Chain A
Amino acid sequence: MALSGMVAYAAAVTVDKPTGFIGALATAAEDFIAVFNKGGSVLLSLMGGILPTLIVLLTAVNALVRLIGAEKIENLGTIAARPGIRYYPVRYMLLPFVSVFMLTNPMAYTMGRFLPERLKPAFYDSAVSFVHPILGIFPHANPGELFVYLGIAAGIQQLGYGLGDLAVRYLLVGLVVIFIRGIVTEAITAKMMSRAAKAA
């Protein structure tokens, strides 16, 4: 702000617009600093708008996870390992959601250790695909990659629309997608494993 103030002040005092070589330099300098003035105001609006909420939310959820204890979700891992079609939603929707929420990226993938080898790639695929759809509502899960969601959400915000609709739909569609992804990857893994077993 100080810089833009100075530039504005200088512009107000100068009676004639600078011409010639020096004038070109001056214009170039103003254009140069304009990029960073704009960037600075974007940074300020990001930090003023999102950061306070984010810090408070992160603190609350971190405290919640610590008080509950991450080891409590281990039972869910053993349930998800059970065979049978009705455990598919547990394995590729519930377990990834709970793991990513409680353990966050990248520790969420450690929950794969409760599953048999043939299911591990599918679980990884499912869990890693959920570290962004969860960001709209629970940014604590992956704060380092917030802008996958926030970049597009910023445009929506600029239009003056609420973000709730987008955040909820992103989360729900994300759940459907990771479910499909888990099933597809499990099938591909099974096929490749049987082919490798035949070759051996």
Chain B
Amino acid sequence: MDGLTALVVKIGRAVGGVVGTLYQAGRDSVDTVIRNVIPFMAFISFIIGLILTTGIGDVIAKALKGSASSLPGLLLISIVCAIPILSPLLGPGAVIAQIVGTLIGVEIGKGNIPAQYSLPALFAINPQVGCDFIPVGLALGEAEPETVEIGVPAVLFSRVITGPLSVVIAYFASFGLYSASK
């Protein structure tokens, strides 16, 4: 009898643990969505609404069409984003990358920028990723202060090379992407 009770308790605990984990996972995801995702969606929706209904869109379209629909233009965007002084300023929360990404997305949707350029554009708008966060990120990895001192400029300088390089790689990787339907 004792053995049976022990078994029931064991099974009960295991099931309770799994259900508890799943429930907690659900709670975490809904929390993330409400705190992080929906507020940004609201903000982005406003910007898209503004672009689509006012003349601002045409101005942005002209500026983006020249730069975001050719390899040199995308390279120029990535070089600007990778400038060691600018990159930490453009980084926080990836807000700039998200807004520029949305603007380019709108233009792709309207057909002003070829769909094939979506892949290199994803890299062109983002050479500054994490440049604002280097000291904190290194501290999370328990780096010494001396490492942080060298690590910050090392990463920033590395981006000057790897930022534009990533655009070139993405450009060549985008051959055949959404091009059959054109």
B-contacting residues of A (Cβ < 8 Å)? 31, 34-40, 42-43, 46-47, 51, 54-55, 58-60, 62-63, 66-67, 106-107, 109-113, 115, 117-118, 120-125, 127-129, 131-133, 140, 143-159, 161, 165-166, 169-170, 172-173, 176-177, 180-181, 184-185, 188-189, 192-193, 196
Contact = CB atoms under 8 A, between A and B. Distances in A.
Given A111-B141, A132-B97, A147-B44, 16 more contacts: A51-B41, A58-B25, A62-B28, A66-B25, A109-B141, A117-B144, A121-B147, A144-B37, A148-B125, A152-B121, A155-B107, A156-B118, A158-B109, A159-B178, A169-B177, A196-B150
30 contacts: A35-B46, A39-B48, A39-B49, A42-B44, A43-B41, A43-B42, A46-B44, A51-B33, A51-B37, A51-B38, A55-B29, A59-B29, A66-B21, A107-B140, A112-B141, A125-B159, A132-B94, A147-B40, A151-B104, A152-B104, A155-B115, A159-B111, A159-B115, A161-B178, A173-B123, A173-B169, A188-B154, A189-B150, A189-B154, A192-B150
A38 B118 CA distance: 24
B105 A63 contact: no
B101 A152 contact: yes
Contacts of B159: 125, 181
B140 A155 contact: no
Nearest to B52: A38
A143 B129 contact: no
A154 to B, nearest CB: 5
Contacts of A131: 129-130
Interface of B: 18, 21-22, 24-26, 28-30, 32-33, 36-38, 40-42, 44-50, 52-54, 93-94, 97-111, 113, 115, 118-119, 121-123, 125-126, 129-130, 133-134, 136-138, 140-144, 146-147, 150-155, 157-159, 161-162, 165-166, 169-170, 173-174, 177-178, 181
A27 B101 CA distance: 32
A37 B115 CA distance: 27
Contacts of B134: 121, 124
Contacts of A193: 150
A129 to B, nearest CB: 6
B102 to A, nearest CB: 3
B1 to A, nearest CB: 32
Residue of B21, B45, B103 contacting most chain A CB atoms (<10 Å): B45
B153 A192 contact: yes
Residue of A36, A51, A125, A172 contacting most chain B CB atoms (<10 Å): A125
A192 to B, nearest CB: 5
B47 to A, nearest CB: 8
A36 B36 CA distance: 21
Residue of A60, A113, A177 contacting most chain B CB atoms (<10 Å): A177
A177 B40 contact: no
A151 B105 contact: yes
Contacts of A189: 150-151, 154
A109 B41 contact: no
B170 A148 contact: no
Sorted from nearest, which 6 A-B pairs have the closest CB atoms? A112-B141, A39-B49, A155-B108, A128-B130, A121-B151, A58-B29
Contact of B105 (A51, A122, A153): A153
